[in-house]
Structure 1
Amino acid sequence: MASDGGAFSQPIGPAERIDAIDVLRGVALLGVMAINVVTEFRVSIFDQFLAREPTGSPIDHAVEAILTLAVEMKALALFSLLFGAGLAIQFERLANSGRRTSLLLRRLTVLLAFGLIHLCLIWNGDILTEYALAGLIVLPFLFGPRWLLAFSALAFLALYLAMQAFPPAGLFPSTATITQHVADATRVYATGGFLDVLAFRLRELPLFVPLHAFIFPRTIGLFLLGAFAWRTGILQSGPQHLLSIAAPCIGLGALLILSGADALGTILLALGYGAAIVGIANLEGGKKLLAWAAPLGRMAFTNYLMQSVIFGWIFYGYGLGLFGRLSVVSALAIGAAVYIGQVVFSAWWLRRYRYGPIEWLWRTLMYGVPQPMSLSKVEAMR
């Protein structure tokens, strides 16, 4: 492969990966899946903004409450931290390459293209577009010192918290608009064909803009915080140190959420989850306990997109049309079955190939040269 900078311009190989971070990414994907399938594929995402009498069984209410308190937004915050750390790792590995900036810009631009395709053609709950845009904003900060990463992270997170406390006037649509939209979504997503669903998905995109605008500063702040955690060596710390960080973050985060300070509590809880999982994954027993999640995490991009395709077919009218018809527990059970299937598939795939299919395509487009895919061929070249 042509490169300038030798090995530093090559994509990272399986042996060079940090297993604990892959484990964390795989576990975080479980949380993202659970929230997506319950609140965005089962029903309209805007349904949660309407004051309604609770429906479903007591078990449904209990499961939904647990997801809201312990998982919702926390899993996505974990992914944001991981994306920032991953960007910092790429930045560091390309330090000796004259193409570092252009390669990282291409990486984020390709991600933006994937995100827009996913957003428009598959599912408008996409987060990839936001991540690509946030990554482009964060990239210049990586050229600065660690204190700049820390200060900037705190500044963006403070802006996010201020927006939570004092929401900008007129940012969100009226209750009447949301009510009508939820009714339309229930009808179209449950019964419409692919073109009907596609047309409605594009029409409702303007309603998603305020949701993304509301959390965009948090995404940037968490990217910067993830980069800071990598650059300072926190993520590479010993398990005891990480677990000592996790305990107070989880405790204080849970206390803040229970007291109503959800925005700050979510950030602290995500930090605590991340430190705890990485710490456990670095323990001898923890490596065995969580080893199943590493292949899933290495293929998180592929698995995330495949979840959208599978759930779209299950819940939308061009497939089984189960939108609006399932309980929380039933939808979560379907999601768990898909996730378990992905755990098995990811392990099987990575015994044969270096990357997941979408990861391979992303790297190939980033470097501009087809990447070696088969493990047997790579071994034969050595």
Structure 2
Amino acid sequence: MACDGGAFPRPTGAQERIDAIDVLRGIALLGVLAINVVMEFRVSIFEQFLASKPPASPLDDAIETILTLAVELKALALFSLLFGAGLAIQFDRLADSERRTPLLVRRLAVLLAFGLIHLCLIWNGDILTEYALAGLIVLPFLFGPRWLLAVAALASLLLYLAMQAFPPAGLFPSTETITQHVADATRIYATGGFLDVLAFRLREIPLIAPLHAFIFPRTIGLFLLGAFAWRAGLLQNAPGRLLWIAAPCIGLGAALILAGTEALGTILLALGYGAGIIGIASLRSGKALLGWAAPLGRMAFTNYLAQSLIFGWIFYGYGLGLFGRLGVASALAIGLAVYAGQVLFSAWWLRRYRYGPVEWLWRTLMYGAAQPMRQTA
């Protein structure tokens, strides 16, 4: 967003955006899509916690291993960093507006409403609800100095790491409950009509909630870390510094994950991914290489919700009913085809309109006035 003295606040224009951040958001969306389609739409999210799984081909096993080690949780961590940076950018650009706090609270409240609709009616793997709640917690810290963001981020991430080392007793369901639930999910999601799927989706939410609670401190910590990176100037015209940060983070993060210290390794690997992609995308040659992802990143909200609608129709019984019937490679191929279509659609759309459809609605509800949509407006 931008603000000019006492002028009425307005959304950030395309010419004011940092393209490298949009590139990273677009690429992070690929990682989120890959994990969602393989581990949450193709089969029950709880299947990964079972000791014995259905037999898979060597190709499926290899792809799943790569996704687990290199992508799972790392893509969401990237989105958390980006959301925190985006919140800090909006906060700073509204510095001269008396409406800064009400506008940002309304923005997060609208996001919460979107998230609850998505969670209940479309797909219960929703992350928007968690992000809205975390954003409301992080927002007061943006009024403080930069060191406060760093200290609060460190405290939140240490709490997350402590929870991984010493999981709270009784937080997760028993093995018997998970086994029965996976069997029920395979039957209902594959064959049920829309109302059957909806009812089961709502019954699943209490089982999924502990998974969000388990990573909620990490989400808050990464929001704060993203805000700190913005305030420290790391995201503004600093490709050299970021590339120097990327290499050790990726190397150490990968080593920790391979050694079994996944929680800390995931955070470091996500930091390395983010620093590397933004650093490369900030270079002239990097823009030519990765610029295709920027339109997708500018429309990430629209594309994220569209993926849920598309995959719901592909995998659930009210559509093609492919739930539980595809291997990892086949499901990922479908996901990549959807992603490629979204890359083309996003570029086409933004040549004609200022925002994605959902982004436009989000801004309109935030400001309480319809925002200009067409590029010629």
Instruction: Give the TM interval when normalised to the shorter protein.
Output: over 0.9
Identity %: 82
Amino acid aligned to 1:75:
A
Aligned partners of 1:8 and 1:95 also within 8 Å: no
- Corresponding residue for 2:71? 71
SS at match of 2:96: coil
Aligned partners of 1:248 and 1:272 also within 8 Å: yes
- Corresponding residue for 1:346? 346
Q: For 1:370 and 1:355, how far apart are their aligned partners in 2?
A: 12
Aligned partners of 1:8 and 1:93 also within 8 Å: no
Aligned partners of 1:4 and 1:98 also within 8 Å: no
- Corresponding residue for 1:380? none
- Corresponding residue for 2:307? 307
Go from structure 1 to structure 2 and tell me whether the alpha carbon gap of 1:18 and 1:8 turns closer, same or farther (over 3 Å shift).
farther
Question: TM-score, normalising length from structure 1?
Answer: 0.97
Q: For 2:181 and 2:121, how far apart are their aligned partners in 1?
A: 20
Amino acid aligned to 1:292:
W
- Corresponding residue for 1:365? 365
Amino acid aligned to 1:233:
G
Q: For 2:190 and 2:256, how far apart are their aligned partners in 1?
A: 38
- Corresponding residue for 2:226? 226
Q: Deviations over 1:249-289 (max 9, x none)?
A: 00000000000000000000000000000000011111001
* Residue 4 of structure 1: how far off its partner (Å): 9.1
- Corresponding residue for 1:115? 115
Q: Are 1:160 and 2:157 counterparts?
A: no
* Residue 237 of structure 1: how far off its partner (Å): 4.2
Go from structure 1 to structure 2 and tell me whether the alpha carbon gap of 1:6 and 1:355 turns closer, same or farther (over 3 Å shift).
farther
SS at match of 1:9: coil
- Corresponding residue for 1:38? 38
* Structure 1 vs Structure 2 CA RMSD: 1.0
* Residue 5 of structure 1: how far off its partner (Å): 4.7
Question: TM-score, normalising length from structure 2?
Answer: 0.98
Go from structure 1 to structure 2 and tell me whether the alpha carbon gap of 1:79 and 1:8 turns closer, same or farther (over 3 Å shift).
farther
- Corresponding residue for 1:210? 210
Aligned partners of 1:295 and 1:347 also within 8 Å: yes
- Corresponding residue for 1:195? 195
Amino acid aligned to 1:43:
V
Aligned partners of 2:47 and 2:53 also within 8 Å: no
Go from structure 1 to structure 2 and tell me whether the alpha carbon gap of 1:366 and 1:5 turns closer, same or farther (over 3 Å shift).
farther
Count matched residues.
375
Aligned partners of 2:142 and 2:149 also within 8 Å: yes
SS at match of 2:76: helix
Superposed counterparts of 1:1-382, under 5 Å: 5-6=5-6, 9-53=9-53, 55-377=55-377
Q: For 1:200 and 1:93, how far apart are their aligned partners in 2?
A: 43
Gaps of 5+ in 1: 378-382
Q: For 1:5 and 1:338, how far apart are their aligned partners in 2?
A: 43
Q: For 1:184 and 1:41, how far apart are their aligned partners in 2?
A: 14
Q: For 2:116 and 2:300, how far apart are their aligned partners in 1?
A: 18
* Residue 240 of structure 1: how far off its partner (Å): 1.6
* Residue 238 of structure 1: how far off its partner (Å): 2.2
Go from structure 1 to structure 2 and tell me whether the alpha carbon gap of 1:7 and 1:278 turns closer, same or farther (over 3 Å shift).
farther
Q: Deviations over 1:288-307 (max 9, x none)?
A: 01010000000000000000
Aligned partners of 1:189 and 1:316 also within 8 Å: yes
Aligned partners of 1:5 and 1:98 also within 8 Å: no
Q: For 2:263 and 2:9, how far apart are their aligned partners in 1?
A: 39
Aligned partners of 2:256 and 2:262 also within 8 Å: yes
* Residue 241 of structure 1: how far off its partner (Å): 1.2
Aligned partners of 1:8 and 1:94 also within 8 Å: no
SS at match of 2:376: helix
Q: Deviations over 1:320-345 (max 9, x none)?
A: 00000000000000000000000000
Go from structure 1 to structure 2 and tell me whether the alpha carbon gap of 1:7 and 1:247 turns closer, same or farther (over 3 Å shift).
farther
Q: For 1:259 and 1:293, how far apart are their aligned partners in 2?
A: 33
SS at match of 2:226: helix
Find runs of 4+ consecutive structure 1 residues off by over 6 angstroms. Answer: none
* Residue 8 of structure 1: how far off its partner (Å): 6.7
* Residue 168 of structure 1: how far off its partner (Å): 0.3
Q: For 1:268 and 1:239, how far apart are their aligned partners in 2?
A: 18
Amino acid aligned to 1:78:
L
Q: For 1:12 and 1:4, how far apart are their aligned partners in 2?
A: 12
Gaps of 5+ in 2: none
